[in-house]
Amino acid sequence: MTSRAKHGQDRGCVITRRACFSSSHRYWLPELSEEDNTACFGACSLAPGHGHNYELIVSMAGGLNSDGMVLNLSDVKQAIRTQVTDQLDFRFLNETWPEFDLTKVNGCLPTTEALTRIIWNRLKSELPLVALRLYEHPRLWADYIGNAMDAFLTIQTHFAAAHRLAKEELSQEENENIYGKCARPNGHGHNYLVDITVRGEIDERTGMICDLSALQCLVNDLVVEPFDHTHLNKDIPYFSQCVPTAENIALHIADRLKQPIKAIGANLHKIRLQESPNNAAEVYAETPQLNAMPPALAQITAQ
């Protein structure tokens, strides 16, 4: 064995595999009335259900073998296909796996977060998993890292706003030395993308970390509506005294959302604000969780 090959065996490596499937589902609990199901799940309760093109990212870790691989990708593909995609593709999720049998006391709705956890349980004996991410669509996804009923759910939204990076106590020249073109007097604008990640326990019956509609309403009411089509320095009082860098905007959004999200039963985990294709800022509301997060989850978060 060459020294290079042995060096690879001594070091851990994370690999990812992507898989896709198309499925439908319906959010409807038999113990609730039609009115209560509509109140809880909105349009998602309507018969016969609705569908998504799901994208699954499987992260695995291990040392390199003598062939320079963590795992044979053919074996990985086979495991994901037999255990997940062959069973779910072009199916009605409520009628696929026994975990979604709502006639049973422990049956739950096939939400994104519940589905991610159950996929983990079906793959964990086949593959050295460290993280799973499941996209229901590009603006909604769940992450799971094998921690019992604990999972992460992310929604993405956007707003358009202008800002100027400058400190009032400094001259224009001094501001330009710090902020460059971003200090020009009339400001400039961005189409901001905001990822809001919450963490919590998956409810054993609803399959949800929290009420998704309530979360989306909070984000819309506290972030999108106040910030959209504004000049942040002039229209948002907080930024009259604070330079609206991407970092400061993300921190302010986190401060606005942390307690309201707590009130609906989840924990704000992270805010990611993308200012442009080249610039983004991430702030964590849960420092212990950041320290405990495995490298694979951080890696897929950055994709």
Q: Which residues are catalytic?
A: 182, 229, 275
Contact 120, 132 (CB under 8 A): yes
DSSP letter string, the chain: --HHHHHHHHSEEEEEEEEEEEEEE----TTS-HHHHHHHHGGGGSTT-EEEEEEEEEEEEEE--TTS-SS-HHHHHHHHIIIIIHHHTTEEGGGTSGGG-TTSTT-----HHHHHHHHHHHHTTTS-EEEEEEEEETTEEEEE-S-TTEEEEEEEEEEEEEE----TTS-HHHHHHHHGGGG-TT-EEEEEEEEEEEEEEPPTTT--SS-HHHHHHHHIIIIIHHHTTEEHHHHSGGGGSS---HHHHHHHHHHHHHHHHHHTT-EEEEEEEEEETTEEEEEES-HHHHHH--HHHHHHHT-
Q: Find out whether 115 and 166 touch, Cβ atoms under 8 Å.
A: no
What whole-number distance in Å separates Cα of residue 120 and Cα of residue 34?
A: 32
Residue found under tokens 């998956």: 202
What CA–CA distance (Å, rounded) separates 116 from 120?
6
Contacts of 33 (CB under 8 A, 6+ apart): none
Which tokens is 20 given?
């896709």
